[in-house]
Amino acid sequence: MKIGLLDSGIGGLTILKALIEKHPNHEYIFYGDTLHVPYGSKKISEITNYANNIIKFLEKKGAEVIIIACGTLSSNIEKLQSKVPLIDIISPIAGKLDKYQNVSVLATEISIKINAFQKYVKNELNLIPCPLLVPLIESNDFSHLDSVLPEYLKHAQNSDAILLGCTHYPLIKEHIKKYFKGDIICLDNYIVEKIANLKPSSFKLTLYFSKLDDNITSNVKRILDREDVAIERSELND
């Protein structure tokens, strides 16, 4: 099956990598809107416009189902328009977090503001907006993480688990664990279970970015840990 994925940048590659490892017999078409990243601090109308253009692009490329590999967009999935089924990354957490008493959620400002995660769990969540993390991760410059990350994680001191509510955050999972001296559970990528029943096909991987440079290319190869990827630039009309 042809599976499309979209994200504001490189964060959705964490979802893509997990899907390829678990379900290699599909054709994957990924689009990262690196020209407009980050989405989490922009107006909802603005980012949904970007997303709907990307969805049209993926549909033209033959995507039969599209994964919204972005926490911010998944928080607003009802505003997205598609001719094919859309799969978000938030609803798969339903029922998964109830075994934890104190869960902190790291996410973008928009996702926190609209309380996108709370409706899927019984216990009250500790919601922590992290506006500076996506730009740092996209820049591939983690030198400022040690000063920025503690300001967010200090609000999660009493947590049993931390839900990484943005697909960029698994890229700094080890930094998060280091802050807690390894004594924390980081939760992500429940979406992998959602495509288990999709009809398999032959493997193919194509990646598109609205902005492409050497830093993005090196990030792609590092995150996916593979060289056999076709990477193209395709800037969409706003």
Q: Give the residue numbers annotated as catalytic, written as ranges.
A: 70, 166
Q: Are 110 and 127 in contact (CB under 8 A)?
A: no
Two structure tokens written together for 181: 């001296």
Query: Which one, of 131, 130, 128, 133, lies nearest residue 145 by Cα?
Result: 133
> 5 to each of 64, 68, 145, how far by Cα in Å?
11, 6, 27
> 26 to each of 1, 91, 201, how far by Cα in Å?
5, 22, 5
Question: In this structure, how many other beta carbons lie within 10 angstroms of the beta carbon of residue 68?
Answer: 29
End-to-end CA distance of the chain: 29
Two structure tokens written together for 50: 């970007």
CA dihedral angle for residue 94, residue 19, residue 57, residue 80, rounded to 10 degrees: 0
Percent composition of the chain: helix, strand, coil (DSSP 3-state, to 5): 40, 20, 40
Question: DSSP 3-state assignment of 101?
Answer: coil
At 137, which amino acid appears?
I
